[in-house]
Structure 1
């Protein structure tokens, strides 16, 4: 029924019910694949939790309350700038002495401030101060709506996609000194929902890098036309890219590594200070482990994308807090589409130089109508085969790709996880349950995990995504538990998995076999193994949380 909430006429409502029924059948039909993956009957505690879950799902509100407490493992797909709620940005805009353009409801930095104490921004005729929002409810509401999807209604020429991506420019003037505060916000929200690990996508400052790139021309060696799948792939031979890498390094690119690491130091120190981490008064948010994925902006000219990608590999090679990288910005943007193949070739080369750096990629975050049909045919395939993606973000276009069944089989066989973002796919792409590939992924045995994408802009949290998956796709308690376990199976923390076989959560490695999963007192051998593997330690902690949760369910 949630699927039909946007249908208003009797005819459209009936059509929606039919589609929803088909979606439920599709979702249910994938259950055997999941049961095969888990490979074990429910334990008595799981049976009690299943009973409570089934009772709660009679009401979305009751289900949401149940799922808030349920351990969820990790959120592996979240952008920091998009994860912060608009109310925080308004407070920070006032603190930064910013101005507001009332026609666009965007922040901007003033050209001058007054000499008063405290200083006030000189915003110019027709503009207002950000702090005025605290005295003007209409301005406050307009800023919240401008910085998020709240109250958005599509209109002629303005889609949900347009509103979503436009929000980021509207608060871009905020000072990066707030990053630690923003990390505290997302960690606090995660802790309140029984999450334990976040891989946060963030783009460190790269002003100096832009200056370096501005003096470097792109190589002009022609590429093999047979490899020129999209746009111009000129200059992407191994020799060309190797020469460009040497040129950038010789021009001082590595100097930016220390700058980016210092930025992370400051942000994490601020977060720890806010949360009193390491002190007797430490807040619950301290228990949420935060690591970073280095965001590369792909809707830029190729030399800029290559330079930033090279910097991402360099930082991730020396800073254990940066566990990998990802390409961001709208996948349907002109440069994102026309440069897609060349960007995958860049990754193919850089992966050969830095093979230990993890790669997750936004791929297939496009839908029919948003791009021409040919644009839907190869993004996930190239992300895997050329981009060396270990995880795929969104993957919405998979059934439109060339030979989709073979692609699904490859994803399953290679254990390449798909990050599922239901609300994001709805508000940005207009893709809801009947048209979402989640059932196809599950039926094919492809590992999936639910994530938020941009919980602040979308005005959601991870519990909302779990609730949506249960209500719209008929996912069971064990399916959701599988998603939580999968999220920690596919995180980029160092060390081997707790489990003997990838994505089969029935038998642990020998060191931890024959004892209660997640027990507070693991054997010496098991403890030694857990201490040697951050990944396995987080997986053990998840099992501990499930033991507590399932024991407490009434």
Structure 2
């Protein structure tokens, strides 16, 4: 290049830089959601997310999804089916407890709940420790309600896994009560704009008031009949169910065989089998079930798998091993972030990670949200969807999950729609119903967006969010309406 050419090139560059500096360059208009998000108060943002149309909740345990107040209300109503409950209000150091001191029903545990038939089998000393549920004092009822939700800073993983379920105990014996919990969730989720639920809601382990086992097929019929009633139908929420095995149980393989057969025979209602239970109990490691599942796939062609994996502190290959088992969806997947090769392979499908932000914080799998891998998965292209896990014990709802996601990770409108679309696209429901659900979601979302773009927050003036303890405790959002916390004042 000659000196003249170099000089000309330099002059041109200086001229263009000067022109760029002195000319206002048109910027693309800010997206309407970003404008709203950047100016909205937390109350306004929560109201928006409560009203926002939503897809499905693919990961929640039905008996963990009941608010404490629901348990109490519904337990008292079970007398119409012959169930009456007693709860432990004091410990008298009865010498008879013996080997039960540290078993599934620990002796040294307040608010353990028993059927009347089990209560009658206790010694006189132990009977004196229990009260009928309906006879609790105001103070005792408050403590009972708090005993089955994580509402204290010192409570966490061990409290949840080792006391909540043991306290519920025989409250979970009535299929009629659990069916009512399902409808309560349908009503609450429907009010939040959700259109699909796929909870883990087993049909085994139920008994009559006298303790006689009820056959799983009979339980499934109780669920079907309840779902056909008008109040359930009016929610507009479509429901399909999953069975679940306790992964570390000694008979877990036999549970798997039994539930594959049950799901296959009841495929109008049940779609999948899941593996639940503490993943840090090594007796439930995924590869334990490899051979059993290979045997089952020789005979069954209509049972899906969605398995808890990666809900553990240590880096390991549980997510990788779970995919090898045949799972199409991964529950939690927190430690997938530590498996670089698998993370790369999971970009853009075909496996979905069911994300439970609130659960992972309260059960101490992350200490704070900036440690959560959710935004990395989302923005790498790993399919993800938000879900509630055990929302009754968190005292939360599905809106709380979206609020946390937007506040902590600055989600865009496109990302919100993608999460909701994923929750339907990766559901296990049949293709025809899936197509209809996606169409319903897209239509509702288009109408919601058009109304908000045109009228702004004024379009939500009729919306009164129903919130609970989590969002009040964590984000001080406690003043939506007289319905806030949705519980009687104690």
TM-score, structure 2 as length reference: 0.74
Q: Residue deviations 1:297-345, cap 9 Å, x none?
A: 21211xx2122111222222232211111111111224224xx321233
Aligned to 1:548: 447
2:129 to 91, 101, 126: 126
Unaligned runs of 5+ in 1: 1-43, 115-120, 209-255, 278-282, 369-375, 496-532
Aligned to 1:270: 226
2:454 aligned with 1:454: no
Aligned counterparts of 1:545 and 1:551: Cα–Cα separation in 2: 10
- In 1, are the aligned partners of 2:246 and 2:275 still within 8 Å (CA)? yes
Aligned counterparts of 1:362 and 1:475: Cα–Cα separation in 2: 25
Aligned counterparts of 1:355 and 1:184: Cα–Cα separation in 2: 30
Aligned to 2:461: none
Aligned to 2:460: none
2:253 aligned with 1:306: yes
- Partner-residue secondary structure (3-state), 2:195: strand
- Partner-residue secondary structure (3-state), 2:169: coil
Counterparts of 1:321-400 in structure 2, within 5 Å, are: 321-337=269-285, 340-368=286-314, 376-385=315-324, 387-400=325-338
Higher mean alpha-carbon deviation, 191-200 vs 46-55, is at 46-55
Unaligned runs of 5+ in 2: 1-28, 91-109, 208-212, 457-490
Aligned to 1:428: 363
- In 2, are the aligned partners of 1:79 and 1:453 still within 8 Å (CA)? yes
Aligned to 2:165: 168
2:291 aligned with 1:290: no
TM-score, structure 1 as length reference: 0.66
Aligned to 2:189: 190
Decide which structure has the larger Cα Rg and report it.
2
Counterparts of 1:51-90 in structure 2, within 5 Å, are: 51-56=35-40, 59-90=41-72
Residues 167, 48 of structure 1: alpha-carbon distance in 2 compared, 3 angstrom cutoff:
same
| Deviant stretches of 4+, over 4 Å | 111-114
Post-superposition offset of 1:546:
0.4
- Partner-residue secondary structure (3-state), 2:59: strand
Q: Residue deviations 1:92-131, cap 9 Å, x none?
A: 33343211112412212235889xxxxxx99821322211
Residues 409, 345 of structure 1: alpha-carbon distance in 2 compared, 3 angstrom cutoff:
farther
Post-superposition offset of 1:204:
1.3
Q: Residue deviations 1:495-521, cap 9 Å, x none?
A: 1xxxxxxxxxxxxxxxxxxxxxxxxxx
- Partner-residue secondary structure (3-state), 2:226: helix
Q: Residue deviations 1:515-550, cap 9 Å, x none?
A: xxxxxxxxxxxxxxxxxx111111001001102211
1:476 to 389, 406, 412: 412
Determine which structure has greater relative contact order: mean sequence separation of CA pairs < 8 Å that are 6+ residues apart, divided by chain length: 1
- In 1, are the aligned partners of 2:33 and 2:412 still within 8 Å (CA)? no
Aligned to 2:147: 146
- Partner-residue secondary structure (3-state), 1:412: coil
Q: Residue deviations 1:426-461, cap 9 Å, x none?
A: 111241322211122123310000000011011110
Over aligned residues, Cα RMSD in angstroms?
2.6
Residues 367, 68 of structure 1: alpha-carbon distance in 2 compared, 3 angstrom cutoff:
same
- Partner-residue secondary structure (3-state), 1:162: helix
Higher mean alpha-carbon deviation, 167-176 vs 534-543, is at 167-176
- In 2, are the aligned partners of 1:180 and 1:269 still within 8 Å (CA)? no
- In 2, are the aligned partners of 1:93 and 1:107 still within 8 Å (CA)? no
Aligned counterparts of 2:263 and 2:341: Cα–Cα separation in 1: 32
